[in-house]
Amino acid sequence: MTWVETKVTDQSVAPIHVQPPTASPPRRAPRWVRWSLLALVACSAAVYGWDASRTGYSDYYATAARSMATSWKAFFFGAFDPQSTITLDKLSGFLIPQALSVRLFGFSPWSLAMPQVVEGLITIVAVYFIIRRWIGPIGGLVGATLMAATPLLVSMFSHPMEDGMLTMFSILAIGALQLCIDTQKHRYLLLAGAFIGLGFQAKMMQAWLLLPAMALVYLVVAAGPIVQKLWRLFAAAVVTLVVSFSWMTAIALVPANSRPFIDGTTDNNIFSMVLGYNGINRFISNFVPGALTNDPISRGPLDAHPVGLVPTALTHSPLKLFVPVYASQIGWLYPLAALGLVLGIFVIQKSKKEGTAQRGLRSAVLLNGSLLLTLGGVMSVMNFPHTAYLASMAFPLAALGGVGLILAWRDPHVRRSKLRFALPIAVATQTVWSLALMANYPHFAGWLLGVVGVLGGVLSLTLLGHALGWEYTKRRWPMAAVLAVVMLAPLAWSLSTLDNPYAGTANDAYAGPPAPAVQRSFAQSQGSYGIGLDSNLATPSTFRLETSIYNYAKAHSGNLQFVLATDSWRSAAPIIMNGGGRVLPMGGYSSRVAAPSASGLRQLVAANSVHYVLLTGADSKSGVSTPNVFEIHHWVQTACRLVPPSDYHRGTSSSATIAVDQLYDCQE
């Protein structure tokens, strides 16, 4: 049923078709909307999948995925190595699809990246259905399009990283919450809690950041007595905790001598790793005992990352989200999202005075406004090592952008008030903001400055004329023009990922050209990207030498449990990625974990489990304060025999590397 409101003018009475405020969304969207959604998904699949075969490796995680695909024990525990001696320094739920893909299709960049492509497509479709429930099918299509064109997400869903799964489950949780509100069926609220718990498996406590906003929306918008809603929220919270802690609990129940050592800890406790090392201790030092503390001296690729280029005064300020290095990835829609927030609040207040409900719109405004406040606040105060952390802000920005456009163009409350000028003002502001961002990258698509400036200026004046009373003969083209102006710049950044230099890497999501200062840092660091995730595979001469060392040790180790023990994951990773299954990595990700300790290594040697030990130089270590590694070095150098480089090294001229990498035979 369609409601018709009459608008009285001096000349005629014109019908305006408005979505009934209390009605459910139509069961079937217009055919052109359905076909447009299908086209959007197909285009997204093409763009996301374009880099799948050349996405490269995030060596630390790729090694774990290879190990998990090789051994079911490593799969269950999320172990870094096939022998399951040590876990990753975080939960490995995000690697489960990658490990299964590697089992099915073999180990390659393509098999690691494809699960994230699928996660991205599921996310886009879910976004459409959520926003459709809020403001109708056209709004759903607009919001999904804005979401799909977010540069950061295009890079993220094209590469193997944990944020893809977290984003997908977060959106599914929001969708389940809205289903619960619309249908008043409690099981959907429980399902939302389960999705948050699954998101926890992908990126731990970051998934919980959605909970305050979701609980607030349910309490305010859902029907029913407040006590009943509180009990239902309690039940959903229990589901969230059970699903979140299920895997951790299962691992913790396994005796320590039957499972890998838990990286990131000093007490071999997975709760210390998840809640401390990766959680509260990042904000409050030593709050959770047993978690490894931060290395007192930061070093390595940190200086190559955009985080290191944010002015110190902005590091713990919301203003850092407006710095071009971040805003060009996630912040193109800031003005449009502000429009959606303002108009949404206005329409809700008007509806209350008229005694009509706007349940979907209330959900949209309250949820997304709360998410931006919560997520923006947390991101503002924390030091996040990878730009992909900001992916969680993409949905509320896209959703509010879609809400703003639909309300500005179609809602009668807005069209009859002074807020009818909001759309031309927002388009003008959006144009200026886009030009300001693009000006930081003058050598990238310079033609965009003129095009966006001219189109935005002309469209702002046209919309201003419309607000003053001029009517169009066709009502659809201005909305298409607004979308074009809003999306032109971010779409250029997103499509630039089709060109490999602008596609980001498996270590970090970043689309388009980095800022000049970032580019200089990349050059100085020989292209490393992200923090500490590149292994010695990035240095060909070192990789060739360590491959020769492994082959020599393998030829002389027989059926020992380990062919080679090495003091760094950076030297172990290339060997494991190339199929070497009997490598013992020591020190964990940070090079500061006693797994094994020096005495533990001595026991392994005495038990005839390993004979050969590779000692690497400082450049192969992730940490500076590594007393356990220093103790291992001292024992190996005094108790074992140095293998002459000529025994395993042939045909290269890497004398400097030979002096750094040393192989010892500890056979007694």
The verdict on residue 210 lying in a domain is: yes
Is the predicted pLDDT of residue 11 greater than 80, yes or no?
Answer: no
Q: Decide: helix, strand or coil at residue 564.
A: strand
565 and 441 assigned to the same domain: no
Query: Pick the residue with more confidence: 668 or 578?
Result: 578
665: enclosing H helix or E strand:
strand 662-665
The verdict on residue 424 lying in a domain is: yes
365 and 436 assigned to the same domain: yes
Check: CB of residue 71 under 8 Å from CB of residue 105: no
Is the predicted pLDDT of residue 1 greater than 90, yes or no?
Answer: no
Q: Per-residue pLDDT tens for 251-268?
A: 999 999 999 999 999 999
Check: CB of residue 610 under 8 Å from CB of residue 666: yes
Tell me how far apart the alpha carbons of residues 166 and 172 are, in angstroms, rounded to a whole number.
Answer: 10
200 and 309 assigned to the same domain: yes
Query: Pick the residue with more confidence: 668 or 569?
Result: 569
Q: Per-residue pLDDT tens for 591-644?
A: 999 999 999 999 999 999 999 999 998 888 888 888 999 999 999 999 999 999
Q: Decide: helix, strand or coil at residue 615.
A: strand
Q: How far is CA 524 from CA 59, 291, 527, 570, in A?
A: 20, 33, 8, 20
pLDDT of residue 516: 56
The verdict on residue 128 lying in a domain is: yes
Check: CB of residue 152 under 8 Å from CB of residue 132: no
The verdict on residue 17 lying in a domain is: no
Percent residues over pLDDT 90 in the chain:
55
Q: How many helices (H) and strands (E) does the chain have?
A: 26, 7
114 and 198 assigned to the same domain: yes
Check: CB of residue 123 under 8 Å from CB of residue 147: yes
543 and 422 assigned to the same domain: no
Mean pLDDT score across all residues of the chain = 85
Q: How far is CA 177 from CA 183, 190, 240, 321, 478, in A?
A: 10, 9, 13, 28, 34
HSE-up of residue 532 (Cα within 13 Å, Cβ side): 19
Global pTM?
Answer: 0.89
140 and 217 assigned to the same domain: yes
pLDDT of residue 519: 56
Residue among 144, 122, 148, 123 at smallest CA distance from 135: 144
Q: Which of 490, 525, 555 is the last residue of a domain?
A: 490
Check: CB of residue 114 under 8 Å from CB of residue 49: yes
567 and 445 assigned to the same domain: no
Tell me, letter by letter, the H, E, C secondary structure of 68-118.
HHHCHHHHHHCECCCCCCEECCCCCHHHHHHHHHHHHHCCCHHHHHHHHHH
Percent residues over pLDDT 70 in the chain:
86
Residue among 560, 542, 651, 650 at smallest CA distance from 604: 560
Tell me how far apart the alpha carbons of residues 159 and 504 are, in angstroms, rounded to a whole number.
Answer: 8
Is the predicted pLDDT of residue 25 greater than 60, yes or no?
Answer: no
Is the predicted pLDDT of residue 499 greater than 60, yes or no?
Answer: yes
444 and 541 assigned to the same domain: no
Give the single-character DSSP code of 159: S
Is the predicted pLDDT of residue 274 greater than 90, yes or no?
Answer: yes
452 and 573 assigned to the same domain: no
Tell me how far apart the alpha carbons of residues 509 and 60 are, in angstroms, rounded to a whole number.
Answer: 16
Check: CB of residue 374 under 8 Å from CB of residue 395: no
The verdict on residue 14 lying in a domain is: no
Residue among 284, 292, 379 at smallest CA distance from 331: 379
120: enclosing H helix or E strand:
helix 109-135
The verdict on residue 506 lying in a domain is: no
Question: What residue has token string 């990773």?
Answer: 573
Tell me how far apart the alpha carbons of residues 423 and 467 are, in angstroms, rounded to a whole number.
Answer: 9
320 and 439 assigned to the same domain: yes
Is the predicted pLDDT of residue 278 greater than 70, yes or no?
Answer: yes
The verdict on residue 8 lying in a domain is: no
What interhelical angle do 226-252 and 186-203 show, nearest 10? 40
Tell me how far apart the alpha carbons of residues 279 and 291 are, in angstroms, rounded to a whole number.
Answer: 10
Query: Pick the residue with more confidence: 149 or 519?
Result: 149
> What is the domain extent for residue 123?
29-263+295-490
The verdict on residue 472 lying in a domain is: yes
Burial of 541 (0-12, 13-18, 19+ CB in 10 A): middle
Mean pLDDT, range 241-252, rounded to an integer: 96
Check: CB of residue 263 under 8 Å from CB of residue 87: yes
Residues 6+ apart with CB under 8 A from 40: 124, 141, 144, 145, 148
pLDDT of residue 527: 47
Q: Which of 452, 473, 490 is the last residue of a domain?
A: 490
- The separation between the first and the last C-alpha atoms of the chain, rounded to the nearest angstrom, is 87
466 and 553 assigned to the same domain: no
Residue 496 is encoded by which pair of tokens?
């630039």
Q: Which of 455, 490, 525 is the last residue of a domain?
A: 490
95 and 242 assigned to the same domain: yes
Residues 6+ apart with CB under 8 A from 446: none
Q: Per-residue pLDDT tens for 108-142?
A: 999 999 999 999 999 999 999 999 999 999 999 99
Tell me how far apart the alpha carbons of residues 533 and 529 are, in angstroms, rounded to a whole number.
Answer: 8
Q: Per-residue pLDDT tens for 320-349?
A: 888 888 899 999 999 999 999 999 998 888
Mean pLDDT, range 46-68, rounded to an integer: 89
Count CB-CB contacts under 10 A for residue 582.
22
The domain tally of the chain equals 2
Tell me how far apart the alpha carbons of residues 131 and 364 are, in angstroms, rounded to a whole number.
Answer: 8
pLDDT of residue 472: 54
